[in-house]
Amino acid sequence: MRTFSTIIASSTPIGRYLISRLSLRRSHAISVKPQASTPPMAAADASNEESLRRTLAEKQSAVDAQGNAVRALKAAKASKPDIDAAIESLNRLKLEKSSVERELQSVVSGSGGGASVNREAFRQTVFNTLERRLFFIPSFKIYRGVAGLYDYGPPGCAVKSNVLAFWRQHFVLEEDMLEVDCPCVTPEAVLKASGHVEKFTDLMVKDEKMGTCYRADHLLKDFGNEKLEKDLSLSAEKAAELRHLLAVLDDLSAEELGAKIKEYGITAPDTKNPLSDPYPFNLMFQTSIGPSGLIPGYMRPETAQGIFVNFKDLYYYNGNKLPFAAAQIGQAFRNEISPRQGLLRVREFTLAEIEHFVDPQDKSHAKFSEVANLEFLMFPREEQMSGKSAKRIPLGEAVSKGIVNNETLGYFIGRVYLFLTCLGIDKERLRFRQHLANEMAHYAADCWDAEIECSYGWIECVGIADRSAYDLHAHTEKSGVALVAQEKFSEPREVEKLVIAPVKKELGLAFKGSQKNVVEALEAMNEKEAMEMKAALESKGEVEFYVCTLGKNVCIKKNMLLISKEKKKEHQRVFTPSVIEPSFGIGRIIYCLYEHSFYTRPSKAGDEQLNVFRFPPLVAPIKCTVFPLVQNQQYEEVAKVISKLLKVAGISHKIDITGLCSG
Ligand code: AMP
């Protein structure tokens, strides 16, 4: 889930919501935290590993000491029995050391040595089968292809279309969502407002001689994992240091990442050349709209912004009622720095996104009871922090105990679980992982990723986030169009309103060209800040006030503004809705589905291994095959009639007239 972590400029015009320093560290959609390749190491495993590393270090010292003793005996021409006894003792120590080494190896490589080798072999078999059967084709293959771009071939298209049809049925139809279809080419203004232009970046390093680019955090992650898995002589302290580094990788600044790369002597993986310092690289593909080249634009990195900018019309279409959800399926484009994980990290992919708009004061969900009894693997923040594993929690309990922030978020977690498992994702290899505090944007109330385990580890396939009112606020501010909802009161309500009235004449005299910044900052104060300023002005006559857009304090005097509270009758409440966003990476789900459906079996003759995808009918590209069991004209005619009937019924199939049932 991408992460906008921001520090709010409380004194900017849009007060709480606009960002003065927006540090969007794009989430590593394939999370670096608890994955199989970066084992989450339960507390018991970690302490076991630590004690094994210590024991191994002791055994190594004992072997070294005994080796020296044997050499000394030989040099002193000691008696043969003495030398033999010393050698025997050395061999015993070596055996003990090997046994500790084996134990350590099995702990560090997860479920026993060779696990990662098996995973890779399995992945290769699946990948080859998929490519051979044209589920996918590397794009522009005859021109040697382009990393991170893949075509779907005929069966791949059929699977994708089945997955999307089910997505529409399960979400759009079931929840009466309003589906939209917006352009991929997006003007800069939209993506500036959303923060993408400034901060949709990953930190990159370059091979200083060849110019090849790498993601800085990926290099460190690979280095750390390899050391932990392969270097058994690593001391317990160094191992703990590396584990810590892997856990905080997301939080490191460019400087910190650069320092670590230097400290560990990491070089370009392909050439071993030195690397540049890390610097941010914006992942959006830039373009210009129209022939003049004067209207800058980007290929959208997500579909969500198209929904946000249409909020006003959609709200009206929905009868000015909340809650409601809008949905969109479409292509997203991210110029990934060095896409390495096959079909999982690509540069153009299909996203299916839902933006469910709710009143921030009421995030209950009318249909929550329908999913409350579901029980599945959840990995709350607490469990991750204390080194525990994911555990089964009834969804109702997760919401009532506040583990999941609210019912609507919980409802969507439940619906996503049903969606994925109906498609054929293995329940045991699906978990919902809560974002840690350092992964979550400041404005987000809570975020959970549906992670599916495959040969690459635990992969984020669906992000489900309560993004509060951030996006609508940002577009309201930048477009000048109020993206708000109203609640009409049955009876007018008396409310006390804060009134901040800057005296522009006095402010103009005092601040001249900066007057606008000061006025906007004063007007953006919240009630607490305003009342504190009022008290200070009354007691001292003037007060220091920080104006973020000027980057300095200014002196506000009593005659420069009036702050009061007025009683008013209100007939309605106007507010910015919160949004709960499930965001589905369709390609990732499909790839995991391929792995979960794959198995091998011997052919009937027993002379070869067959690679098989056991798809549920819902996603199977071909639902059935018509076999005229005997090769003869009459049977073939009947097969054609059956085929015609199947076509009319919309059932994809093929006819096999070889007369042989394949086996
Ligand atoms: P994000 O907007 O980063 O939360 O991404 C939303 C979803 O898109 C993720 O949950 C992934 O499933 C998917 N996704 C993100 N980046 C990529 C990529 N480079 N290739 C394929 N899928 C991606």
Q: Is the CB of 588 under 6 A from ligand 1?
A: yes
Q: How far is the CA of 585 from the centre of ligand 1 (A)?
A: 5
Which atom of ligand 1 is nearest to 26's Cα?
3
User: Which residue is closest in CA terms to ligand 1's atom 7?
Assistant: 585
pLDDT in tens, 64-91: 999 999 999 999 999 999 999 999 998 9
Q: Is the CB of 2 under 6 A from ligand 1?
A: yes
pLDDT in tens, 252-264: 899 999 999 999 9
Which atom of ligand 1 is nearest to 462's Cα?
10
Write the DSSP assignment of 62-98 as a string of letters. Answer: HHHHHHHHHHHHHHTT--HHHHHHHHHHHHHHHHHHH
Per the structure block, which two tokens stand in for 35? Answer: 């994955």
CA 443 distance to own-chain centroid: 17
Which secondary-structure segment (H or E) carries 495? Answer: strand 485-502
Q: Are strands 375-379 and 430-434 parallel, antiparallel or unpaired?
A: parallel
Query: Taking the model in full, what pTM does it have?
Result: 0.80
Name the nearest CA neighbour of 558 among 509, 503, 520, 499: 503
| DSSP 8-state symbol, 206 | E
Per the structure block, which two tokens stand in for 477? Answer: 């501010």
| DSSP 8-state symbol, 114 | T
Strands of the 457-466 sheet, one edge to the other: 178-180, 324-333, 348-358, 578-585, 457-466, 446-454, 430-434, 375-379, 391-394
Q: How far is CA 162 from CA 330, 421, 452, in A?
A: 15, 15, 20
Q: Is the CB of 352 under 6 A from ligand 1?
A: no
pLDDT confidence of residue 111? 46
Whether the CB-CB separation of 651 and 623 falls below 8 Å is answered with yes
Phi and psi based region of residue 552 (left: phi greater than 0; alpha: psi -120 to 50; beta: remaining) = beta
**What span, in angstroms and rounded, lies between the C-alpha atoms of 427 and 384?**
20
Q: Taking the alpha carbons of 186, 189, 194, 196 in that order, is the dihedral positive or negative?
A: positive
Most informative mutation of 250, 331, 348, 460 for ligand 1 (most atoms within 8 A of CB): 460
User: Which residue is closest in CA terms to ligand 1's atom 22?
Assistant: 585
Whether the CB-CB separation of 360 and 577 falls below 8 Å is answered with yes
Q: Is the CB of 297 under 6 A from ligand 1?
A: no
pLDDT confidence of residue 43? 55
Most informative mutation of 302, 329, 349 for ligand 1 (most atoms within 8 A of CB): 349
Kindly report the number of other CB atoms within 10 A of residue 624's CB atom. Answer: 13
Which atom of ligand 1 is nearest to 585's Cα?
12
Number of H helices, E strands in the chain: 20, 27
Q: How far is the CA of 461 from the centre of ligand 1 (A)?
A: 7
In the numeric block, the tokens 């577009």 are attached to 475
Which atom of ligand 1 is nearest to 459's Cα?
12
pLDDT confidence of residue 34? 37
**What span, in angstroms and rounded, lies between the C-alpha atoms of 35 and 458?**
5
Q: How far is the CA of 196 from the centre of ligand 1 (A)?
A: 15
Whether the CB-CB separation of 354 and 171 falls below 8 Å is answered with yes
**What span, in angstroms and rounded, lies between the C-alpha atoms of 136 and 153?**
5
Which atom of ligand 1 is nearest to 461's Cα?
12
Longest dimension (CA), the chain: 107
3-state helix, strand, coil in the chain (%, to 5): 40, 25, 30
Three-state DSSP at 608 gives coil
Which secondary-structure segment (H or E) carries 104? Answer: helix 80-108
Q: Is the CB of 27 under 6 A from ligand 1?
A: yes
Most informative mutation of 163, 470, 583 for ligand 1 (most atoms within 8 A of CB): 583
pLDDT confidence of residue 35? 37
Q: How far is CA 640 from CA 105, 295, 380, 662, in A?
A: 59, 56, 55, 19
Q: How far is the CA of 402 from the centre of ligand 1 (A)?
A: 27
Q: Tell me whether residue 76 is exposed, middle or buried, using C-beta atoms within 10 angstroms of its C-beta: 0 to 12, 13 to 18, 19 or more.
A: exposed
Which atom of ligand 1 is nearest to 1's Cα?
4
Question: Which residue type sits at 101?
Answer: E
CA 622 distance to own-chain centroid: 32
Tell me the sheet residues that pair with 554: 545
Q: Is the CB of 351 under 6 A from ligand 1?
A: yes
pLDDT in tens, 42-72: 555 667 777 888 888 888 899 999 999 999 9
Which atom of ligand 1 is nearest to 27's Cα?
3
- Can you list the residues of the chain whose pLDDT is less than 50? 1-40, 111-113, 662-663
Q: Are strands 457-466 and 279-282 parallel, antiparallel or unpaired?
A: unpaired
Q: Is the CB of 150 under 6 A from ligand 1?
A: no
